[in-house]
Structure 1
């Protein structure tokens, strides 16, 4: 447990520093270039700049993405989920660099973008690269991916609890006690870094709201229902764009810039992060007609841009859309009844949480984000009602899961995992390996064979000195079979461990960083029942580092053995708990 605490702190520290750098790369140029030194004041630039900035940004991003390999152009939360599901959380460094640059460019050039998606990729990669550098087992690297994700969300909004829940609800898609502690420490460490440098203010300035009367609860539920329909429209628009727009990436990005630039001529508030507009909405400073237009335009431009491949985040835009939609409904509700109701900003805040929870299918993370952003316990009950209703509506008509999961499925990658896989990938091979064996050459004297049979020995790893691969064990022999043979009269002074009667098991090597899921896959692929676990070996450039075989010339350290029965027993024990 102390090691997990230290790893969580290191991951939170690294992630906090990287997110700090990412935010600086975005805010400093905008403060120098936009009118009034306001990093979000896109509204004050000329119409010409509003139109051409997103197009120019798309052009630069397109040049970068087509200049790197396809594998290194994959970025964002879907990429993190893909690497977790198919590559044990091993995130490549080139993708991180591409995400840092292109994610910043999308915001700098006024795309309807959020910084949280790129931040999640950067944070998750910080944890993954830390695990790879320390040569940790793959299950520990997966845990560090969760730590980095939580730290990224915490640093983005100054919401450490929401960061923890987001990591487990959206990225890891599981809750575990052993993982909760380092993830929490990473999130808290990252929040501390941001507060030391930037202060303790949250991303939005939120007034102290409360529900005016319990008679408004039905309207709050209705708000959740409408937000659920909007989230459904958002998710379907993203998915349809991903599936049906089959044109080159360069053209897709230029189209995204063209759409954004055209919309910005009429609604410049959609450009950039839009946090200033969200704050205005929360204070009730925008009118009904503008709010209605912003809701629809921001939703469609953001969804289409993401579907076309702009490397940007969507959590911030869901807050914007939810705030605008909630405020719109607040205005309409106030007009419909002749009694005092809650403030417009109150409904905007409920809409923020409901939209985020529905689009990401993360109602608990959204609820905690609302609570931490407002520092107001009075919003818990209405926020729960709106967020849960919106999530249920979206879930009912969009069963693919979150928008990130839907994008993965559209790419032909199934994020859903069988219960067996989910259990086995949480444990490393070293946690279940056996050490009750001895390693012996094929030919032994009777005296040496008897000496090998100690009380602790249950297995013999046999290697053939005459083979070209004499450094590798070639068979696993039961000590009981050798004992049975030695109990019989011997006609020779030597014992051939590969010829005496007994059951000999074939075996292959696996690296000590592998998980039990990888171990089971290796056993199935090679049709064997035993693995011997090694470390300090060379890996071929195109091989799977967990299951590739070892050449006789590589220097290895034998750590233990693992039988198929050990893996099955581990899964059975977990199912009985």
Structure 2
């Protein structure tokens, strides 16, 4: 009798996770389809009307006003600020803060404004934060017990990432891996897998949204020499990612201190800086998402310092209060840096771009498993050995740095770092 009750309890809990994950997947998949389609449309508008870049500072004022007026909620004796973006979602998973239900709407409007007027940004941040908002709404509507709310929030992250990039396997693992270093909460695997796969299906099949394709044309022959080159390259790509993360965080801290956390003044100033940089370079290649040059880096040589320009544009854009995502900018930096190294290495161009794209993403997000799966899904399983090595090396050599200062370390990457368990990336950087 007890055995029967256990099976019934298991079936009930399993069914609950599947149902909640499916609901989140359907909603987040649909909202992500809107995000992708609107970003494409607004990007085309900007490309046809170069003059809209001059309105970026005004767009910054609007974004700052939204976050200052509607982005803060005091709950459970804690101030929850939507301007913390993915950091707020991560802290909510750890039970320290709460994701507000309107956060997704705010970040979508902010991302549209940023893309339209030429800020350098991506999209997964908006999708992940919408996923967190939807998950929080599901938690409240179905009165999910507090012990389980973090699992639902993780499934929201998975749905957003899987739908945004058309990579459901990666999305499922990303939701479990991004919130902490050194630990995967497999208890969340059922809702995360369900939400990610259904979110992807809704975006791509139900709404007919097409994702970008990056063609890995040639794989070098396996050899010790090639493996050594991949290791060295992964270290270099991780350094690019660290440089971006540190600059972006420094700009954010400096502008918050200078303008006393007035998001309107910060974003207005950041918008002015992007306009000036655009005029100096005489090109809009580094505004918006930069998908054209990202795809071009796989097939032909691009400007050798494109990765530095994108690094600076994105660090200023997101560091001064504009919103969006950082995965695509990291893809851009890694791929174009790999492209720049092509004349000096006896390796295929598309391989260098792909390796840089994955390694830079891995180093910035501290998600080696998700990054490896991303390579498998994006490049149809080609070059699996090289991408595995690149992910491990870039993860280790990036140290305890990353995009999100609130990422908690259940265990340091290596005992050689001599760091205590339980600290956040932000705390480690501050101590250093």
- TM-score bracket, normalised by the shorter chain, equals 0.7 to 0.9
Provide structure 1 residue ranges, at least 5 long, that are not aligned to the other structure.
35-41, 334-340, 409-413, 419-577
Does residue 241 of structure 2 align to residue 237 of structure 1? no
Give the Å deviation of 1:65.
2.7
- Give unmatched runs, 5+ long, in structure 2: 1-13, 74-80, 412-432
Displacement after TM superposition at 1:332 (Å): 2.2
1:128 aligns with 2:136: yes
State which of 63, 66, 69 in structure 2 corresponds to 1:67: 69
Of the candidates 394, 397, 401, which is equivalent to residue 393 of structure 1?
A: 397
- 1:451-474 deviation digits (Å, cap 9, x = unpaired): xxxxxxxxxxxxxxxxxxxxxxxx
Query: Counterparts in 2 of 1:332-411, with a 5 A limit?
Result: 332-333=344-345, 341-375=346-380, 377-395=381-399, 399=400, 401-404=401-404, 406=405, 408=406
Using a 3 Å threshold, how does the CA distance of structure 1 residues 115 and 309 change in structure 2: closer, same or farther? same
**When you count helix as a share of all residues, which structure comes out higher?**
2
2:190 match: 181
Conserved in 2, the CA contact under 8 Å of 1:19 and 1:123?
no
In structure 1, what is the Cα distance between the partners aligned to 2:203 and 2:23?
15
* C-alpha spacing 1:294/1:54, structure 2 compared with 1 (3 Å): farther
The DSSP-based 3-state class of the residue aligned with 1:353 is helix
CA contact (8 A) 1:112 1:298 kept: yes
TM-score normalized by the length of structure 2:
0.82
Judged with a 3 Å threshold, the aligned counterparts in structure 2 of structure 1 residues 212 and 49 are, in CA distance, closer, same or farther, namely farther
Deviation at 1:201, TM superposition (A): 4.8
Are the aligned partners of 2:21 and 2:195 in contact in 1 as well (CA < 8 Å)?
Answer: yes
Q: Distance in 1 between matches of 2:334 and 2:360?
A: 5
Check if 1:118 corresponds to 2:123. Answer: no
- Listed one character per residue, the Cα deviations across residues 55-89 of structure 1 (whole Å, up to 9, x for unaligned) are 2322322232333354454352111112223446x
What value does the CA root-mean-square deviation take over the aligned residues? 2.3
- Matched position secondary structure for 2:219: coil
Q: Provide the rounded CA distance (Å) in 1 between the counterparts of 2:284 and 2:222.
A: 36
Instruction: Please give the per-residue CA displacement for 1:283-306, whole angstroms capped at 9, x wherever unaligned.
Output: 12x33xx1x321111112212322
Answer 1 or 2: higher relative contact order, Cα 8 Å, separation at least 6: 2
Change (3 A) 1:220 1:45: farther
Structure 1 moving runs of 4+ over 4 Å: 198-201, 414-418
- Partner residue of 1:277 out of 281, 293, 299: 293
Alignment check: 8 A CA contact 1:54 1:261 kept: yes
219-228 vs 314-323, greater mean Cα deviation: 219-228
Give secondary structure in 2 for the equivalent of 1:268: coil
Match of 2:38 among 22, 25, 33: 25
Pair 1:263 & 2:277 matched: yes
- Counterpart pick for 1:165 among 173, 178, 190: 173
CA distance in 1, matches of 2:393, 2:119: 30
CA distance in 2, matches of 1:10, 1:30: 30
Cα drift, residue 134 of structure 1: 0.4
